[in-house]
Amino acid sequence: MKTLKFTTLAVLAVLGLSACGSSGNGNGTSALNTNNTSTNPSVSDNANTNSTVSGNTDNTVTNGSGSTSNAQNTNTPANPVNNVNGFAYKFNSGSAASTINNANLINLSSSNRDILVVNGKSIEIVPSGIKSGAYSFLEDTDGSRFTVGDYFQNARFGVYQSHTDNNTHVYAQGSLTEAQNVPQSGQAIYRGFGYHVDNNTLNQPYNSLNNPPRWVIHGVTVEVDFDKKSLVGQTITSDAEKKPLPVVDFEANITGNTFAGTHASGTRTQGAFYGPTGRDIAGVYVNEEKGFAGSYGVTDYSR
């Protein structure tokens, strides 16, 4: 399949987002909270609060980079233990020497799509009672969270960077589509956006309200061929202000309600279909050789 290319501005128009607004804002306070902001000139502005509570440990699976295209998915939460399942890539951060390498694939499981269970605790990525709109950026003594907001119906995706154990996670999780409800034939184009981090921005500090979050927001398109049980995706090459952004190509084979694969460029991806009919896709990608990673969510707006 030939990947279609759109500008981020076009995608944001499809999503009903503007460069200076969102579907809602909220404010709150927390004993841990020092900065609760979301600022990005390409998407929206939101203010939020956050908290952390104890929880379960994560299930870490080491997955080498490899070079085989469309590797089969061997880490599949197809039969969820809890209501929310997904994937994350975990890698070291927090020091000037840290780079994106040796990424571990983690199977995520939670009872709430707004709770990310990693590193032995449950992280509230979108606080209860806060309407997050297009996205939210949360910063406190525990770490930084950049996550999609309420408009994305069936999943959450984003970046979590811990200040306590010096790890970064790009993650995607939500309410999995039952495998039998994923379309079995036809083709579809999914559109949305994602969050991107690379070796240059991995350890940049967050300073003030005047500085946007250090993780790039970019548009994403995914073309799915349900007959061939495959998909190809690409990040969009320029944002709403015509700034050049890195191009990321990925591809995968579909197994039931999940997918996994490795593109010829070395980019690995892992993700799933979410919602009752598979209308949403959310996933993560990483390329250690080129030093970048990210998460994304896309929707089939034809249904």
Condensed to tens digits (0 to 9), the pLDDT of residues 126-165 reads 877 666 667 778 888 888 888 898 778 899 999 998 888 8
Nearest CA to 122 out of 82, 153, 93 is that of 82
| Cα 138-141-143 angle, rounded to 5 deg | 50
Domains of the chain with CATH codes: 8-299 (2.40.160.90)
Do 146 and 137 contact (CB within 8 A), yes or no?
yes
* pLDDT for res 19: 28
CA dihedral (191, 181, 74, 83) positive or negative = positive
pTM here? Answer: 0.75
**Which residues, 6 or more positions from 153, have their beta carbon under 8 angstroms from its beta carbon?**
275, 279, 280
Q: Please, which pLDDT band fits residue 45 given cuts at 50, 70 and 90?
A: very low
